[in-house]
Each structure stands twice: as structure tokens, then as C-alpha cells.
Structure 1
Amino acid sequence: MNKTQYIVCIKLILALKNKMNNIELLSDNIRDRLRYIEFSLLYKGEISRSDIMSKFNVKEATATRDIKSYSDLSNNKNCFFDSKTKKNRIKETFQQLYNLTDEEALFWLKQETYPNQSSFITYRFKRLSLPEQKALAPITTAIMNKLVVQIKYLSLNQGRETIRKIIPHSIMDDGLRTYIRAYDRVRENFITFSTSRIIESECLPEYQIEPIETQDKDTEWNEFIDLIIIPHPKLLHKNIIEYEYKMIRGELKCTVRKAVAGYFLFAWSVDCSIGDIYLDHQTHHLYLKNIEQLKNIESIKKLAPKKTFL
């Protein structure tokens, strides 16, 4: 590298560093809007002031400044104003300023509608079971304020309505159902409740929470385990599944809470059979490689898809 090339490299590094510093100096609200601008350019090819105004409930002047700020930060390489459509469109020289996570991009994509239509770009399956707001609201209040809750719960084991006093500490969602993790004073243990089976709930601020009932005592919730997932052994073209799930050397390691491992494996239809007796590989494309080491975990014993346990 000669002296001229060296100077050019230093200038580029300093310019990039200065750009990143400028981004970091922006407020969280502005950064959120600029990230949305980048998302829109990347996934929709365009962004308009009205998009920003409706998404973030800001005025036209603010939206105009946001688009200009984003364009300035990209040195005018990421978008240009199309006078015909009155929108800013993506340039061929586009380079990402922000590291949008896959989850963040998918979340925003789910919220987007087609132009001048009420229908969403992403078709979302209807949930078959949802918690009732009047039953869920006291539980979330209890989690935030560390309160005891009395619930009327439909027990599948007992086949009837039961009354429980619980101390909830977390809500979890597998994409299909929502669950509550709580200490149950009837069973005297931490268990997982389906929110859709809760008929009524009521906060009981007059009751005290005991030390054994707090989240830090829920060992299964606080302990993490590694699930080593591989393509189903019976699949002929395993390389396709390896690509689909971005596996590394044919494996995908998922670190999950021990209490939710069974729910996770059930949601993703991961075959957890032991031995050579498998579930149908046409509907179960994944297999839990380390099932022998994890087979005695309570949530896996109860919920994980399997042909049989030895």
C-alpha cells in the first residue's frame, strides 16, 4: 500500500467512525424512525413521509427531517426522491446503516399493509385460542407488582374447574399459544398454565408472597439447556433442512429454559423418539440429537413429540 492509498483508507475509516458516532448521538425515537426508513427501503423498495407519519404519529415536518437525516447519514447513496410517485426509492448503491435483526424485520413486515389497502402484506394464521383480556390483565398486573392471584382454571387432568392461588412471574408465547409460569399453592411447585383455560383471575394484594414462591426459586425456569437439533434421520435430502434452518455442520444448537424445552420441541415438531422407532419424517423434519441426555426433563417427558420413551 502506497502513501496515497494509506491516506484514502484512513479517511474512509474516519468517515465511517464519524457516521457511526452521529447515529449514536441521535435520540432513541429518531433512531427507531431511521431504522424503519431503512427497513422500508430494503423490504418495500420505497418510503414516504405519510408512511412515517402514520407509523409513528409524527407531523409532516418531522417525517421530512427524518428522511433527510437518513439520506445524509448514507451520503445520499441509499435513496432518491421520485418526483412521479412522491416517494423516496432505494438506490442501486444502497448499503445498510443498521443491523436489523431477522426478528425485527419480520415483526415490522407483519405490521405492514399494501398501499391504499387494509390487508396485511404477511398473511397470518388465525389463532385458535386466545386468553380473555379480563382474565389476563390481573395476571400481568400481578407480575409487574409481585402480587398473589386467585384464578378459576379449567384443569385438563381433573376435567373440571379448579380454584388456585398462584404467584405468576413470566408470560411465554410459542407463536400459537400463550402460557403463564407461576408458583401454584395447590401443588406447592412452579408449573405452567395455559392462559386460554383461565376463566377468571383476581389480584389479592392482602396476601403475602413467600420467599419460596419467587422467580429466583424457579430452578427449571432459571436453568438453561442446549437442544442439539439435526435433520430427521429418515430424510433423504438432509442438506435442504440444513440450509432451511441455517445449521452449522449439520446441527442447530438452541439454548432454551429447561421449563419450556418441551413446549419449544412441540411447537417445532422435533421428533424426540429414542432408538430406531421414529415419528413420520414427512411431518417431522427435525430430530433431537441429544434426547438421551435430556429425556428425564419434565417438560420434555410430557410434551416433546415422540414415538416412545424407553
Structure 2
Amino acid sequence: MSESPNPARSDPLESLNRTQLERLAHIDFRLYFLGELGRADVSDRFGTGPAAATRDIAAYRQFAPNNVVFDIGSKVYRPAENFVPLFEHSPQRVLTALSQGFGQGLGDVLEPMLRCEFPVPLSQPNMQVLAPITRAIHQRKAVRLGYTSVESGRTEREIVPLALVDIGIRWHVRAFDRRHRQFRDFVFTRMDNPVVLSDSQVTREESVESDDQWSRVIELELVPHPAHPRPEVVLMDYPFDEHGVMRLKVRAANAGYMLRRWTVDCSPDHSLRGMEYALWLRDALSLYGSSNAQLAPGYRDPRAGTKIKAI
């Protein structure tokens, strides 16, 4: 697991190359979150022999001599009582590793490191669809494909893919739609037969620099929902500041998706009820101009009658 050196430490780690840092970070991770480390945990992870694993553990002890004790009975290393992590471990990466293990990208079956339960994804991209789209993003190319939308049914499209977006329940791609001459969101599961157009030139009009909704960043101020029966619990659940406000920055193109995912009451008078609404968007006008603001729970568009077109 690649992590950043802990800023509370001095920085002799900067002299190490990336491979060495990866090994020391893995040792740090095992000690910190699993409470034990054997030579096989290092050699199996990196495909090295026992002698190399011993050297890696010795190198770790050189940088953090007070972090490790050797348990003679079980013949494993354990974190010392005064253990201080050598690296900063991202919560998302840690939870992913614990719940899904370390995959090598070569068909490995991911095994969790601890008993863990998480929602099964109901909608995932087909790899034969995903791969041409990601190639096009990387190479700045257009794609011809079939697309089935709620509004138009199946049509042939040429799009210029710009970015992948995960909204929690599905993945889509942000792209310029040459048919409608505008930037839109395209759901992967509705695509078929994508072909990268290697000879098709992408103009500036079709590039991410021209996507105002993608470039515009909105700052959202979330607070405990005024109608929540236990606001002190909400304050414990989320990283609010000392004033009880959580400030988040999101792209205008994704704001509505994110607020729906987080189940935030976006009504101006915090009128939504239910235990699922732990958070309230303090200033609903901050969403004004976001192309998918109406997806946010309870949002009322100041422009009466405005609707978002289904894709």
C-alpha cells in the first residue's frame, strides 16, 4: 500500500525509492491495522524471498526502532505499545485494502483481510465498453457508439469522453456529445459497440477546458438537519468544523449526484423529514446554475418549470 510519510516524523524516508517506500508502507500497515507481521506477509505481497523480506523489516526498524517488538512465542513482529505510524494511511485506501485485499490486476480473486460486509454493486460497466472509453480519454480521441437513453431510445452517437464519474450507484462518463453539441453524462451500461475514432480531431470546443459545468467548483455548506432528534450524534458522524459546518467543494457537473448520494436535504426550509436526512444544505442558492441541481433531494429551482433532460 503506497502512502505518504507521516508528517509528524522526520523525512529521511525521502531518500528511498518508490519500491522501498511501498514495502515499508505495507509493513507499517500490517502492524498498525492487523497487529502482526511475518516475513511471509512481505515476501508474498511483493514476490520476494525470505532474505529480502528480512532486509525490508530491518530497514523499517531502522526508521522506526520503537515501533516493533518480536513475539518469540508466535514468531511474528507486533506493534509496540508506543507505536506511531511511519506513514499517513488514507482511510479510503485502508478500508479498501481491509475489505478487498490487495489485487495485482492479473485475475486474482480479491480476498478481504478481515470479515467485512459492503453493498454489492448492482450496476457495473462491461469491460469491453469501459476499455475503449478510457483509451479515448487518455488519448484525447472521439468514440462512435450506440447509446440508449430514456429520452430518445437507441441512437448512434459520437462523443468525446472527458472523465469517469462514480456517483455511488453507477459509473458514467462525462463527454461532449457531437449530436447535441453540448457536454452530457453517459451511463456505461447504456452503451454498446464503442469504437475509438483514431483519425477524428478533437476541437477545443469539445475539450474539458470548454466544459463550464466541469470546470466550475461549488462550495457546499452542510450542517446538521434542524429537525434531527439527535444533532449531537450527527456532529460525531461527520467532520464538522468548530462552528458545526462541513464545507465541501464539488464540481457543478456532479453536485446533484453527490447531494443525492449523501442524502442531504436541499430544500430552502429544511422541510424533508426522515432519519435518513441527517444533513441540510444551508444555502440552497449555492446550487443555482448546476446542470443537475434538481437531482438533489428537496431542491427547488428558482426558475419555475425548469427540468433536467433524462439521459
TM over 0.5: yes
Structure 2: state its 5+ residue gaps. 1-6, 103-109, 303-311
Once the two structures are aligned, what percentage of the paired residues are identical?
Answer: 31
Q: What is the aligned counterpart of 1:130 among 124, 127, 132?
A: 124
Partner of 2:18: 28
Partner of 1:10: none
Partner of 2:193: 200
Q: Separation in 2 of the partners of 1:260 and 1:140?
A: 19
Structure 1: state its 5+ residue gaps. 1-16
Partner of 2:106: none
Structure 2 length-normalised TM: 0.86
Give 1:69-148 correspondences, 5 Å limit: 69-75=59-65, 77-112=66-101, 118-121=111-114, 122-148=116-142
Contact residue 154 and residue 161 of structure 1 kept, 8 A: yes
Q: What is the aligned counterpart of 2:51 among 44, 61, 64?
A: 61
1:61 positional shift: 2.2
Q: What is the aligned counterpart of 1:186 among 175, 179, 184?
A: 179
Distance 1:309 1:176, change over 3 A: same
Which structure's CA Rg is the greater one? 1
The worse-fitting range, judged by mean Cα deviation, of 27-36 and 136-145 is: 27-36
Q: Separation in 2 of the partners of 1:82 and 1:175?
A: 43
Contact residue 99 and residue 112 of structure 2 kept, 8 A: no
SS at match of 2:227: coil
Structure 1 length-normalised TM: 0.86
Distance 1:308 1:21, change over 3 A: closer
Q: Separation in 2 of the partners of 1:287 and 1:216?
A: 32
Paired residues in the alignment total: 287
1:118 positional shift: 4.7
Q: Separation in 1 of the partners of 2:61 and 2:113?
A: 28
Deviations 1:223-270 (A, max 9, x none): 211011111121021121111102112110011111111111111111
Q: Separation in 2 of the partners of 1:244 and 1:180?
A: 31
Give 1:221-240 correspondences, 5 Å limit: 221-240=214-233
Q: What is the aligned counterpart of 1:253 among 243, 247, 252?
A: 247
Give 1:224-303 correspondences, 5 Å limit: 224-248=217-241, 249-275=243-269, 278-301=271-294, 303=295
Runs of 4+ in structure 1 deviating by more than 3 angstroms, as ranges, are: 117-120, 307-310
Root-mean-square deviation over aligned CA pairs: 2.2
Q: What is the aligned counterpart of 1:305 among 289, 297, 301?
A: 297
Distance 1:110 1:38, change over 3 A: same
The worse-fitting range, judged by mean Cα deviation, of 144-153 and 49-58 is: 49-58
